[in-house]
Amino acid sequence: MPEEGRPRRWWLLIGLFAVVSLAVYGIARLQPFEPSAPPAAAVPAGDAANGETLFVAKCAGCHGQGGAGGGIGPALVDTGLDAPSVAGVIAAGRGAMPAGLFTGQDAADVAAYVAGISGGGATPPATTGGATTPAPAAGGTVQLTGDRLTGIRVRLDQPAPVSWGVWAEGPAGTRRLASIPPASALVVVDDAGLGPLVQGVDRFTVGPTADAPALTAPLGADEAGRLRTLFIGDPDLPDGASTLDAASGQVAVMRDHIRFLVLARQERNLANIRFHGEHMVNLAYGNPPEDVDGNGDPSNPGDGVGLLGPEGGRPGYTARLAATGPEAAREADAFTLVVAEIATAGRECGAIATVEASDACVATIGDRSGELRRTWAALRTGALRSATIALEAP
């Protein structure tokens, strides 16, 4: 009931709600304490390869693998940042990113790597004591993108002098995919509208006209076949799935069963602990499945290929992905280590005699779940980058 003589002050309640909400929103739009863009810093020439190693260690947690975005920090891909600007942000910090995350040569290396992935210049104009480094040789890369390789990303070592085109040549003719404006060195087309670009394409060309290209990227039959099995479909795999899709599915199954195993320990369910321990082994090594828990029924919740594959048998998913290129091969080592640790602990869990005896193996497996996800993401990124073809003078 209203107090006697006092009207309900709805206007105050609603007005205060509106004013405070708008004030918070307004301040959030202004971001008064966000460090504004710091001045570009003169940086020594950076080693992008070392920069990538440092980026993975300290930056990918926020900016995502390959700078694709991670939720806390913004995506860096295709943002057009050049190395001096990146070096300025590293020195001064920005948002949640602390200042001075890297210093000296490390900062220059990370700046070179980030400039590369952001499209601000794979080899940005770097200065050492005021001297400009020489311009890079003409060339570039064609990267096929998207889950089905329907997109394309063309990066030139030097900006296009005039308006250039990008074409796909094949038995069906020559089709224009994109245009590169004058003075630009990057063009990205999410979907060229031609379906998978590894089917019916013999080479990609870049230049002022399709008849007289400045640069070409030949797509050989072997390379096209390798990319098709990796991205489109592999008749050697169950259901003809692509290697990336099938492997991704098996990692998801393993992570699910890690959760089931931890749950079984919480429920003190000995049979399920042993059952899911067996699953870890068989998901790692594939068919024929082992009867690790000795119940007479070897069980494998996966597709039988195995993340690591049976010893001496056909290759598992890791070996298939490692074969796509040096970057994937490097990441495959870390992924293999994690999966092997999970399988070893799974073998222990599969044969334990009491619930209490499973504590160590369950903890080992549970602790590896996040690492499994991270190393898989790195391996997948490495495999995705293998869809890159060098552009060279014809």
Partner 1 sequence: MSAYVPTADIASSYADAMESVFSSAVAGKAWFATVAVVLAVVQILTAARMWGKLSGLIRLPTPTVQRIHRWSGRLALLFTLPVVFHCVTILGFQSGDTRVLVHSVVGSFLYGIFAAKMVAIREHNFPSWVIPVAGGSLFAGLVVLWVTSSYWYFTEVNFGI
Please report, as ranges, the residues that interact with partner 1 according to CB under 8 A: 1-3, 6-10, 12-14, 16-22, 24-25, 27-39, 61-62, 69-72, 74-75, 92-96, 98-99
* Residues sharing a CB contact under 8 Å with residue 224, sequence separation 6 or more, in sequence order: 198, 199, 201
- Whichever of 178 and 262 has its CB closer to partner 1, that residue is 262
Least Å distance, CB 312 to partner 1, is 38
Closest approach of Cβ 374 to partner 1, in Å?
10
Residue 70 token pair: 């991670």
In degrees, rounded to 5, the angle at the alpha carbon of residue 114 between the alpha carbons of residues 132 and 109 is 60
Task: Report yes or no: 185 and 198 within 8 Å, Cβ to Cβ.
Answer: no
- Alpha carbon 379 to chain centroid, angstroms: 8
Residue number with CB closer to partner 1 (17 or 267) = 17
Distance CA(214)–CA(22), nearest Å, equals 55
Q: Rounded to an integer, what distance in angstroms lies between the CA atom of residue 95 and that of residue 344? A: 42
Measured from the CB of residue 61, what is the shortest distance to partner 1 in angstroms?
A: 6
Taking the complex as a whole, the smallest distance from the CB of residue 130 to partner 1 amounts, in Å, to 21
Task: Count the alpha carbons within 13 Å of 368 in the hemisphere toward its beta carbon.
Answer: 28
Smallest separation (angstroms) from partner 1 to the CB of 84: 14
CB of 333 to partner 1, least distance (A): 23
CA geometry: angle 99, 104, 108, nearest 5 deg: 90
Q: Which two structure tokens, joined as six digits, stand for 240?
A: 């003809």
Give whichever of 24 and 271 is closer to partner 1, judged by the CB atom: 24
CB atoms within 10 A of CB 93: 14
Least Å from the CB of residue 275 to partner 1: 25
Q: Which is nearer to partner 1, 72 or 162 (CB)?
A: 72
Question: What are the b/e assignments for 109-147, b being 16+ CB within 10 Å?
Answer: bbbbbbbbbbbbbbbbebbeeeeeeeeeeebbbbbbbbe
Distance CA 114, CA 305 (A): 37
Separation of alpha carbons 275 and 265, rounded Å: 11
Q: Give the residue with the Cβ less far from partner 1, 2 or 235.
A: 2
* Beta carbon of residue 88, minimum distance to partner 1 (angstroms, whole number): 9
